[in-house]
Amino acid sequence: MQSQWVRFQWVRFNGCNCSGCRLSMNEENGLLLSHGQAEFASEPAPEQPLTIEQAIANLSGPDYGSRYYAAWWLGRFRVRSPEAVAALIATLNDESDRTPDGGYPLRRNSARALAKLGDPQAVPALLTCLSCTDYYVRETAAQALGILGDQSCIEPLAALLAGGLAAAQPIPGSPHLAQPYDAVLEALGALGAIAKRPLIEPFLEHPTELVQYAAARALYQLTQDEGYGDRLIAALSGEKLQLRRAALADLGAIGYLKAAEPISLTLAENSLKLIALKGVLEHHLTAIAGSIERGQLTDEARQVMELMDGLL
Amino acid sequence: MTTDSLAKLTQAVEAASSSEALLTAVEAVAAVKAPEAVTLLVAALGYNNPGVAVAAVDGLIAIGEPAVEPLLVLLDDVNYGARAWAIRALAGIGDPRGLSVLLTAAKDDFALSVRRAAARGLGTIVWEAMPPESRSSAQLDCLTVLLAAAKGDPEWVVRYAAVSGLQNLGRSLCLTQPHQRLDLKIQLQDLAAQEATPAVQARLWFALESL
């Protein structure tokens, strides 16, 4: 537990946002990971030092570390009780826990947890978070809204793309762009915001690769046009490991079957390739569920599993 | 492989001043695929560099049997990362001398990637290399550990790997103990009915098709 806590603090204070960590977070364990440790560290399912009551009480307790941990814990263990959801929503207004540069770490973590709990009651408070001064709160809120699936969020999310590419240029000296464009684009794709296609399209030309990928991912989800998926396949052979990892995550998220073999051949950690292939396999299984008897498989599914077997 | 060219490769590994140079040097050693390279490759597992370790593991698996003893020695190492990579190499080699290490790792290792590799490795033990009188109890041990992992590991990928291990083990059992195959099929059907992760469930169906 000790070493996990150290790593957990590391991520917290460094605000690690690398795609490896993002990927791992989807796998439940990312918060306990430090940057680039995806291959080995992950998990284990931590001991459970908290009860549900304690975790909820800790959320409004005096110790910032305990509050932050409680927010993560409630998400990790999918505590969907009305009390837990209400307590997490309340922390989205927290003013006390601030980083040196004015960020709201507890709000960020609570938004992540609320995404995992999947309760639509969190939507209004998360929409408010889209105008928070903390970029990372806006980012986690946008991610959460994409997951919660409420169509009424499309307009407020699209509003963050205002000004298009011109407003989205890198800001000298800033570690991030004006808005969390990649998170917003991904959320619009997940929400099926087909009407926003003209707004999304220009971001394919954004100077930041991660934003280009997010646009391609969203556009593929909106149109099923292979051209967009193929852009992400091309990104698997990029120079930088971090970008290859991001492309793996995106292809797993859209479940692009054609990418299965290129994913298996990508120069990246097997654990991340397996997660991406799981996404492809499960997307395919959902697509065939109606046309095939339960317990039956297609050749495509078998092929993806053979690729996965080779990476274990 | 001449002593001379091995010396050159060793020199390249020692002289590597960047991560990329080290990877290139270790890849060159791995490509040797001869027992002379074992010492260098085993050492490379402890460099705390995942890319290098992957290359070294691949090289050690290709060398096979001559790498087993040095890997078992390395397991006493305090370097956790090196241990984990050694277990992965042993899982890939499939030598029965690694069996007890793999059984323990599949059950208890801290890192899911090690449990994953161990579970897969338990399915690909080279049984012919084990004295016939020890085989059936060792296979039963594998079966027990893999079924427990397939049922109860909290990580989907470890359950997935355990199912792949069970499928391979099941094929070996078919040859030696045909009556156990039916038991295994029933157990896999039970698991498929309970499994909540679609990818793991599909892997169970895939295993059932082939048994």
Q: How many interchain CB pairs under 8 A, A with B?
A: 69
**Banded model confidence at residue A23, pLDDT cuts 50, 70, 90:** very low
Hey, of B49, B83, B122, B155, which one would you mutate to test binding to chain A, going by the most A CBs within 10 A of its CB?
Answer: B155
Gap between the Cα atoms of A38 and A272, Å rounded = 8
Please judge whether A305 and B202 are an interchain contact, meaning their C-beta atoms are less than 8 angstroms apart: yes
* ipTM of the complex as predicted: 0.90
Q: Give chain A's contact residues with B (Cβ, < 8 Å).
A: 39-45, 269-271, 274-275, 278, 281-282, 285-286, 295-297, 301-302, 305, 308-309, 312
From chain B residues 35-74, the ones with a CB under 8 A of any chain A CB are 50
pLDDT over 70, % of chain A: 85
Gap between the Cα atoms of B24 and B12, Å rounded = 9
Q: What is the pLDDT of residue B175?
A: 63
Element holding A85 (H helix, E strand): helix A82-91
Hey, of A4, A34, A40, which one would you mutate to test binding to chain B, going by the most B CBs within 10 A of its CB?
Answer: A40
Q: Which residues of A touch B202 (CB under 8 A)?
A: 281, 285, 297, 301, 305
- Tens digit of pLDDT for each residue in B127-144? 999 998 998 899 999 999
Please judge whether A40 and B113 are an interchain contact, meaning their C-beta atoms are less than 8 angstroms apart: yes
Residue from the list B112, B155, B206 with its beta carbon closest to the beta carbon of A297 = B206
Please judge whether B154 and A45 are an interchain contact, meaning their C-beta atoms are less than 8 angstroms apart: yes
Gap between the Cα atoms of A116 and A191, Å rounded = 16
Interchain CB contact of B161 with A (< 8 Å): yes
What average pLDDT is seen over chain A?
86
**Stated pTM of the model:** 0.84
From chain B residues 73-132, the ones with a CB under 8 A of any chain A CB are 81, 84, 110-114, 116-117, 119-120
Gap between the Cα atoms of B134 and A213, Å rounded = 54
Q: Which residues of B touch A275 (CB under 8 A)?
A: 157
Query: Does the pLDDT value for residue B205 go beyond 60?
Result: yes
Nearest-CA residue of chain A relative to B92?
A312
What average pLDDT is seen over chain B?
90
Please judge whether A271 and B156 are an interchain contact, meaning their C-beta atoms are less than 8 angstroms apart: no
Element holding B200 (H helix, E strand): helix B198-210
Q: Is B197 exposed, middle or buried (0-12, 13-18, 19+ CB in 10 A)?
A: middle
Please compute the mean of the pLDDT values over residues B39-52 and round it to a whole number.
89
The CATH number given to A1-148 is 1.25.10.10
Query: What would the 3-class secondary structure string for A261-297 be?
Result: HHHHHCCCCHHHHHHHHHHHHHHHHHHHHHHCCCCCC
Please judge whether A270 and B110 are an interchain contact, meaning their C-beta atoms are less than 8 angstroms apart: no
**Banded model confidence at residue A33, pLDDT cuts 50, 70, 90:** very low
Please judge whether A301 and B110 are an interchain contact, meaning their C-beta atoms are less than 8 angstroms apart: no
**Banded model confidence at residue B74, pLDDT cuts 50, 70, 90:** confident
DSSP 3-state of A250: helix
Task: Check: CB of residue B191 under 8 Å from CB of residue B163.
Answer: yes
- Tens digit of pLDDT for each residue in B28-37? 999 988 899 9
